[in-house]
Chains A and B, each alone.
Chain A
């Protein structure tokens, strides 16, 4: 965790296309990598997470990949829909699990 960088800061996609958000982290001891979605005016909610002993995880249209060697992980959303429009945050734990560090967020807009 500690320093988590997230790119891009904004992403506009056509409905039906895919969206990819990438994050890097600095602490090699990080072992838990969740993704949160925050709709306008709402609280952040967990959409998917991955632990360091797994390289990829899928849940319907969303998937997360993790490359521990390169210290980066990515969120993939396929067949985007208008309800996917939101701010997405990646996060990672640090050398202890008590602190979850978040990226700055990616505002995703799905154009109809």
Chain B
């Protein structure tokens, strides 16, 4: 079974630009979560999607948005980039049993550098 795939792996943007990151979950996984990872801050929750619905959102400004498609693939978008947005963005998928949380399978991440 293929793992979680994230594209692009690396990208460099300048302040004010926008960026779109893509995530393809493991086949059969309908839940996709996004996290921002920065040194010393751990993994900060951005949002979680299930069957094209955002079920929860973290404490990030409205510049951060996401969506999920009918095939469970997900995208996140960051508009008006700031220097502080430089980070590793991790996507994780899980098989939601409908009862409780389960294991997250992470992608390798998209490393964003904002200049």
CB within 8 Å of B: which residues of A?
6, 9, 31-32, 34, 36, 42-46, 49, 51, 89, 91, 93, 96-105
Q: A32 to B103, alpha carbons, bound, how many Å?
A: 10
- Residues on A with C-beta less than 8 A from B101 are 32, 93, 97-98, 100
User: Would A44 and B48 count as touching, CB distance under 8 A?
Assistant: no
Stretch from B21-29, B65-73, B106-114 contacting the other chain:
B106-114
B15 sits at the interface (CB 8 A): no
Interface residues of B in 82-111 (CB under 8 A from A): 90, 100-101, 103-104, 106-109
User: Would B107 and A98 count as touching, CB distance under 8 A?
Assistant: no
CB-contact partner of B107 in A6, A36, A43, A99, under 8 A: A43
B62 sits at the interface (CB 8 A): no
User: Would A43 and B90 count as touching, CB distance under 8 A?
Assistant: yes
Q: A96 to B107, alpha carbons, bound, how many Å?
A: 24
Q: A96 to B31, alpha carbons, bound, how many Å?
A: 14
Task: Select from chain B the residue with minimum beta-carbon distance to A32.
Answer: B101
Residues 31-58 of chain B: 1 if any A CB is under 8 Å from the residue's CB, otherwise 0?
Answer: 1010100001111110010100001101
